[in-house]
Amino acid sequence: MTNKVTIYIDDLPYQVPDDINLLQACLSLNIDVPYFCWHPAMGSVGACRQCAVMQFQNEEDIRGRLVMSCMTPVTEGMRISFKNEKAHTFRQTNIEAIMTNHPHDCPVCEEGGDCHLQDMTLLSGHIKRRYPGTKRTHNNQYLGPFLNHEMNRCIGCYRCIRFYRDYCGGKDLNVFSSKNNIYFGRAESGNLENEFSGNLAEVCPTGVFTDKPFSKHYIRKWDLQSSPSICTHCSVGCNIYTTERGGIIRKINNRFNDDINGHFLCDRGRFGYQHINHENKLTQVWSRDHQSQKTHILDDNQAHIQLTQWLHEPDAKIFGIGSSRSSIENNAALHKLVGKNNFYAGMPANEINQLTLLINTYESNQINLLSLKDIEQADTVLLVGEDITQTAPRVALSIRQMTKNAGINKAAKFGIKPWQDEALRNITQDTKSPLIIINTHDTQLADVAKQNLNLTPNKQLELLLEIETYLSDDTSHCSELAVAIASDLLNANSPAVITGTHSFDIALLSACLRISAILKILKPNSGFYCASSAVNTLGLSLLCEPEQDLNHLIQNISSNPPSLLIIMETDLYRYFSDKKISNYLDKIKHIVVIEQIITDTVTMADLVLPATSFSEQNSTWINNEGTAQHAYGVMPPNDMRQTPYKWLAQHNSLSDDHKLYLYVQSLDSLLQPLSQFESINKSDFPIARQSLRSSARTAFFANIDVKEYAPKCDEETNLTYSMEGVSAFRQKTLDDSHHKITTPVTGVWSPKWNSNQAINKTPLEDNNNSNLALKIFNTSSTMPFEIPSAGIEKRSLSTITVCPQHHIYINDELASYSSGIQELAPKPLIYINKKQAENLSILPSENLTVISDDYQFTLPCKINNTIADNVVLVPFKEFIRLGKNVQVSSSNKVGEYNE
């Protein structure tokens, strides 16, 4: 809780927190001070000069002094004026100067209508252009599939490189030349390398960097229909706004969530939505007639009749496969239909085991679960066995911010506040909070890590066990390295252990959990975070019994095949080799697949029920730290699509939402609070998904019919598919009125602020009063649980270990349908270091073959000398299909090892 000070703005007193800058204070008080270079996440540098206000020494001082509000800390009793004429004239001239080189592109510029420059120009009062000269122009660059580049529009606020380089650690974007010829781009055209480049479209206050996939189906902001949702392309659960028009999803925008994603999304989340518009999406019910080898399209009735028939066959044995990329509601519906003994998670055994371990530990309250905000505020991080920069990139961005904390503390001694961005960097120089990474190879966080320890999984485990030993006060048998790491953790105030399930090594996970448990006793502020594989992995795991995983499913199918297998949003061919799966599936009489898009599993179905994408359904997802978040669809389901739980509603007697949520609650005590999401759907008044200026209502179907069609009705929620209802901006008033209303906000807007910067016009205490999220693990209840210790003796010694390599543009199934993501996805290769290559007698780009009991593949290899000795990195998609007894061989030599 920070202290407050009283400041006087145009002779009126206001109370504001004492640790913010004057600009932030004014904005939070609804005073429209214009600005460009300040950003709430990046602090102040004082470059653009737009935020000038007049400061007075005391009441007698009538002359005053112009100050930049973003660079000025608030102090008790300070007197400033926003309305002062000199200050107003200055701001007006300042933006006039900025606009001297700005092209009159608004009508053809993507940013128009969503443009911070437009808003600030109007707010500053500049309407008449006096500059008689010509405008400087630039050539543009090709920057990859995600961003357009139009440098003529640049106003020189420097935000792009401050974000890209200082915030995200990117190296290839920079500023070139000088004076009024400055140029922001790469040394040469080419793909932007950093995984957060897409945020440039939102960070740039004008149209220099704009969303390129959006340009291909562009619609003005005021014509977009928008809904608050959750990104479904990894397990972090970043908050987004999905926008739509004409049945096509147009763009994903960031939705501010202080605890999770803050102001930024990764590129996978931002651009991975194209599967919704994909030509292969399923919109019809298909029925396969094996005799005639034909596919028929069924209508709704026929589909249900078929399903009923198979469900109620004599001796029917029904299995269901739930999905980690489908909502809690969908999984619960399937669970009810098939019963808990027949419900399988669409995850391999290894993963379910890891998740079970995690959930048991979380419930036992032995560790603190961290949010991403908590991670940013930690002061030491141990990152183990997970290339989180690729599996859950937004977490990596938070870890990167964490490393700046030691510098922030150092600067505080000089009286420099955390938001004084440039001063901070000049004082901080190399000072960093420790980040220790234990992995198989260097990650994208290597540049800010105190140590990058690249080891085989066995050695990683050895090291972790030593650290655990040291922390338990037993200093025997500890290597210097372990002691050093443990000391870093002990010296910290809030150390964090971060890992993930993507190494598929439960022993490593155990070790991490045990270390975290010990740390919690020693350091109450310590914490833990584990990244899992998909948006609802944790949620799905809560519904599963032990041994209800895909590996056991395959065994059970083999010994005692079911008559009906209902596969929901899972592609079995991702987990097993083609041959293996096809053999098993052939044993089953009826296969029903509920899916969004054509996958290999869909081609094996007898009946295909088209499922809605996340944009067409209301859904609840549980992320890595156990926050259940509710998402709203933005458009009615396309064509014949239905939300999976609706497909099943007729058959599992959960005929309405109320029954559905009752059932969800019954599945696990942790899910009790989820009933809250049922009630928020029915609220006092409608909320509009469209802005008041949304146009072309009457013209939309003009080619079909003269009359304007009634907007579709949203049966389940109080959000409307029209502009009728409460508009998208904060309802809270300044003076704590009794009628405090918190609504799901469907977009970012504030009077006179049409761009996403309107997010800064909210009172500071408002924070994140969203009732769309709740934590399911609470500290009040504790279920005792002993975290198993991972004995290293159980692991066999080997010469080579095959490990999975992850990539942001490969890992997620649905995101991979986006064209930009496909373009950037690397070719599948096997990576080894030089020594390993020599051991295998192989040259770079020659082939390596990896063989296991169930599966084998051959790929060319490439050298990466940061990889630990005796580690062979293979693409994750291949790795996951490998069974036991893995061997690596080149055409020249057979190396051996095992899983």
Contact between 767 and other proteins by CB under 8 A: the answer reads no
Minimum CB distance to other proteins smaller for 134 or for 560: 134
Q: Evaluate whether 294 touches 422 at the Cβ level (below 8 Å).
A: no
Q: Considering the complex, what minimum distance in angstroms separates the CB of residue 868 from other proteins? A: 22
Q: Considering the complex, what minimum distance in angstroms separates the CB of residue 165 from other proteins? A: 9
**Residue 96 to residues 92, 102, 126: CA-CA distances in angstroms?**
6, 10, 6
Q: Considering the complex, what minimum distance in angstroms separates the CB of residue 392 from other proteins? A: 26
Minimum CB distance to other proteins smaller for 184 or for 677: 184
Contact between 416 and other proteins by CB under 8 A: the answer reads yes
Q: What are phi and psi of 369, to 5 degrees?
A: -85, 130
Distance of CA 659 to the CA centre of its chain: 31
Q: Considering the complex, what minimum distance in angstroms separates the CB of residue 195 from other proteins? A: 17
Q: Evaluate whether 741 touches 731 at the Cβ level (below 8 Å).
A: yes
- From candidates 107, 133, 314, 784, binder to other proteins by CB under 8 A: 133
Kindly identify the residues of this chain, within the stretch 49-88, that bind other proteins according to CB under 8 A: 49-50, 52, 65-67, 71
Contact between 422 and other proteins by CB under 8 A: the answer reads yes
Query: What letter represents residue 396's amino acid?
Result: A
How many binding residues for other proteins (CB under 8 A)?
60
CA angle at residue 387 from 481 to 828, to 5 degrees?
130
Kindly identify the residues of this chain, within the stretch 93-132, that bind other proteins according to CB under 8 A: 93-94, 97-98, 100-101, 130-132
Kindly identify the residues of this chain, within the stretch 162-221, that bind other proteins according to CB under 8 A: 171-183, 186-190
Minimum CB distance to other proteins smaller for 172 or for 313: 172
Q: Considering the complex, what minimum distance in angstroms separates the CB of residue 183 from other proteins? A: 8
Minimum CB distance to other proteins smaller for 180 or for 819: 180
Stretch of 148-156, 655-663, 671-679, 781-789 contacting other proteins, by CB under 8 A: 148-156
**C-alpha closest to that of 271 among 748, 820, 712:** 820
Stretch of 141-149, 260-268, 739-747, 879-887 contacting other proteins, by CB under 8 A: 141-149
Assign 863 to helix, strand or coil.
strand
- From candidates 107, 314, 415, 784, binder to other proteins by CB under 8 A: 415
Minimum CB distance to other proteins smaller for 175 or for 490: 175
Assign 874 to helix, strand or coil.
strand
Q: Considering the complex, what minimum distance in angstroms separates the CB of residue 58 from other proteins? A: 18
Stretch of 272-280, 413-421, 737-745, 876-884 contacting other proteins, by CB under 8 A: 413-421
Query: Who contacts 427 (Cβ-Cβ below 8 Å, separation ≥6)?
Result: 407, 410, 411, 414, 416
Assign 135 to helix, strand or coil.
coil
Query: Who contacts 339 (Cβ-Cβ below 8 Å, separation ≥6)?
Result: none
**C-alpha closest to that of 883 among 385, 509, 551:** 551
Q: Considering the complex, what minimum distance in angstroms separates the CB of residue 137 from other proteins? A: 9
Contact between 47 and other proteins by CB under 8 A: the answer reads yes
Contact between 156 and other proteins by CB under 8 A: the answer reads yes
Query: Who contacts 63 (Cβ-Cβ below 8 Å, separation ≥6)?
Result: none
Contact between 139 and other proteins by CB under 8 A: the answer reads yes
Query: Who contacts 828 (Cβ-Cβ below 8 Å, separation ≥6)?
Result: 859, 875, 877, 878
- From candidates 90, 167, 214, 419, binder to other proteins by CB under 8 A: 90
Phi-psi group of 322: left, alpha or beta (phi > 0 → left; psi -120 to 50 → alpha; rest → beta): beta
**C-alpha closest to that of 277 among 242, 248, 245:** 248
**C-alpha closest to that of 621 among 671, 576, 549, 571:** 671
Q: Considering the complex, what minimum distance in angstroms separates the CB of residue 414 from other proteins? A: 5
What distance, in Å, lies between the first and last C-alpha atoms of the chain? 51
Q: Considering the complex, what minimum distance in angstroms separates the CB of residue 44 from other proteins? A: 9
Residue 316, judged by CB atoms within 10 A of its CB (0-12, 13-18, 19+), counts as: middle
Q: Considering the complex, what minimum distance in angstroms separates the CB of residue 603 from other proteins? A: 35
Q: Considering the complex, what minimum distance in angstroms separates the CB of residue 130 from other proteins? A: 6
Distance of CA 646 to the CA centre of its chain: 27
- Euclidean distance between CA atoms 333 and 409, whole angstroms: 51
Query: What letter represents residue 130's amino acid?
Result: R
Stretch of 42-50, 461-469, 549-557, 759-767 contacting other proteins, by CB under 8 A: 42-50
- From candidates 6, 280, 426, 767, binder to other proteins by CB under 8 A: 426
- From candidates 24, 28, 141, 548, binder to other proteins by CB under 8 A: 141
Q: Considering the complex, what minimum distance in angstroms separates the CB of residue 824 from other proteins? A: 13
- Euclidean distance between CA atoms 889 and 861, whole angstroms: 12
Minimum CB distance to other proteins smaller for 314 or for 415: 415
Structure-token pair, residue 879: 């790795």
Q: Evaluate whether 421 touches 166 at the Cβ level (below 8 Å).
A: yes
Minimum CB distance to other proteins smaller for 389 or for 541: 389
- From candidates 5, 9, 34, 46, binder to other proteins by CB under 8 A: 46
Q: Considering the complex, what minimum distance in angstroms separates the CB of residue 2 from other proteins? A: 21
- From candidates 140, 302, 839, 898, binder to other proteins by CB under 8 A: 140
Minimum CB distance to other proteins smaller for 149 or for 520: 149
Q: Considering the complex, what minimum distance in angstroms separates the CB of residue 412 from other proteins? A: 12
Q: Evaluate whether 30 touches 77 at the Cβ level (below 8 Å).
A: no
Stretch of 376-384, 423-431, 783-791, 828-836 contacting other proteins, by CB under 8 A: 423-431
Q: Considering the complex, what minimum distance in angstroms separates the CB of residue 516 from other proteins? A: 34
Q: Please count the other Cβ atoms lying within 10 Å of the Cβ belonging to residue 579.
A: 10
- Euclidean distance between CA atoms 327 and 716, whole angstroms: 16
Assign 225 to helix, strand or coil.
strand
Minimum CB distance to other proteins smaller for 46 or for 562: 46
Compute the CA torsion angle 890, 893, 896, 899 (nearest 10 deg).
0
Q: DSSP secondary structure string, 477-519? A: T--HHHHHHHHHHHH-SSEEEEEESTT--HHHHHHHHHHHHHH
**C-alpha closest to that of 517 among 529, 501, 528:** 528
Contact between 414 and other proteins by CB under 8 A: the answer reads yes
Minimum CB distance to other proteins smaller for 169 or for 562: 169
Q: Please count the other Cβ atoms lying within 10 Å of the Cβ belonging to residue 219.
A: 18
Q: Considering the complex, what minimum distance in angstroms separates the CB of residue 212 from other proteins? A: 11
Q: Evaluate whether 768 touches 259 at the Cβ level (below 8 Å).
A: yes
Q: What residue ranges bind other proteins (CB under 8 A)? A: 45-50, 52, 65-67, 71, 89-90, 93-94, 97-98, 100-101, 130-134, 139-142, 148-149, 156, 158, 171-183, 186-190, 414-416, 420, 422-423, 426-429
